[in-house]
Structure 1
Amino acid sequence: MSNLELIIEEKAADIGNFLVGRLLPFREKRAVGPFVFIDHMGPTKLSDYQNLDVPPHPHIGLSTLTYLFEGAIFHRDSLGSAVEIQPGAVNWMTAGKGVVHSERTPEYLRATDKSLHGFQIWVGLPKNLEQMNPEFHHTEASEIPQWEENGIHYKLIAGEAFGKKSPVPVYSKLFFIEIKNREKARLNIGNFLFGEVAMYVLEGTVNIEGNEFGSKQLLIAKNATLCEFEMNENSTVYLFGGEPFPEERYIFWNFVSSNRDTIEQAKLDWHEQNLEAFPKVVGDEEEYVQLPRAILKHR
């Protein structure tokens, strides 16, 4: 019996100057473990007159995880954080009851040709922490656990697996793992995983149960403990997963919650620019992304 539950094709979504490949949510699979949203950004080339400019926008009920392969993004938020994200580092922002942030091309790159490639991920919060105070943590690439075994390179970007723990301060049982190889290799790593698991092939191909899979697909296993696959030469894969929440998570625009009323209140607070619920982004106060009128519920 096949362990592949679902194969999700990456679908394009426009976020401004370039398209991203949306992997989650999907109509047949709304989450994998606590992961509720995964965007694959790029790879894209931006000319000297093109820049990433995502003005201040709000979040509730989740943690955002930004992980870059190429390029740089400057992050600012309503907590006062101001940091440049470089490849291999992890930006982990926990929205809790409400946070606002912006993402832009750093000033020193704005008049030059540049590239951008990476993941934008949302991780839901446990129900008892959905209203926690917002937090921000930046973890440098050098702090992320990485090791080599039998010619295969592993990196534990977030969570716990393989008896190791990433310093990224997550709030639920999860894992986000990078695996790279040079020579063809077979992996049977189910004993090190738990809950649900999805695989994204960034480079190269993998063989699962006699079938070959390449990029632009999210492969979801029925059982993480049966995670076995073959990586062909010079491949890179990412594994996302962990323990799913017992309650459903609702997603509307940038808001995630187990309670629809909480989302409705967040919509109203952002629409009315309630600064107690959603303070201004420090150093980026002049503009903001308006709530799409299509999701504003009239009262």
Structure 2
Amino acid sequence: MADVSGIREHMEVRDAAGVTVGTVDKVEGDRIKLTRSASPDGQHHYIPTSAVARVDTQVHLNQGAAALGLAAVGATAAASGSGEHPLPPVLNRAVDGAKPRGNFYLPWIVGLVGLILLLLLFRSCVHEKAATTTAAAPAGTAVVAQTSGAPESTALSGLGGYLAGTGTTPRTFTFDKLHFDTNKADVRASDLAEVNDVAGVLKQYGQARVKIAGYADARGSDPTNEKLGQARADAVRAALVKAGIDGGRIEAVSGGANDAVATNDTTQGQQANRRTELVVVSR
């Protein structure tokens, strides 16, 4: 039997299920007298000391209230004469068959996390594509879309993008600004910047081999135009070599007055035909 010497007045008494069944009035021999004020029926009730399991700040019993003939405090308000009925017991969803409420926010949280991951993935792909494009285009050059198949004339600003890609060879590029004065084969000082830009691209792709083709307008004879075209090609080749490109990678040829890109009936057309082209032979 538990030590009941620690039982004091006004201690709360609880049954084996932890339900309050009364308050100690005093201990009388081998039984505990409960106060009337805490009794549902306003009467004194007694509990044998043999029913005590332990004593701390409360008296804990080793049996249920029903086995001891007791009622839970406040369980039957009608017995006190108040005429009121006790509140119904709270439904315990875990044991009374009620369906627990699901987590209303969980689907929204999962969907939001998924959306964030998709946005991060998309952003990563965009950055990766941008980084690849930047790496493919050496500084100072613009990337121009290239097509496969037979060589075609395109702006020389697309040279870097082409050499970085996998397009077929040969491919012909026209200098954007480099043109020659009538009957001249000297590279003008204003055009050296473009030649140096091309040299910078070729330095980054050391395996590339190119051909420089010089052209003339149609006003001279064929032999004269052939010779003038060769002189212009040689001048551009010399400028590239001076800029640091191995001359063994560059072949200079003449196009004469062939393959005109504009009419020879106007001054503007004649100037356009006095051009120089770069042909990528291999890379």
Radius of gyration: which is bigger? 2
TM-score for the superposition, normalised by structure 2: 0.19
* Structure with bigger RCO (C-alpha 8 Å, 6+ apart): 1
Larger strand percent: 1
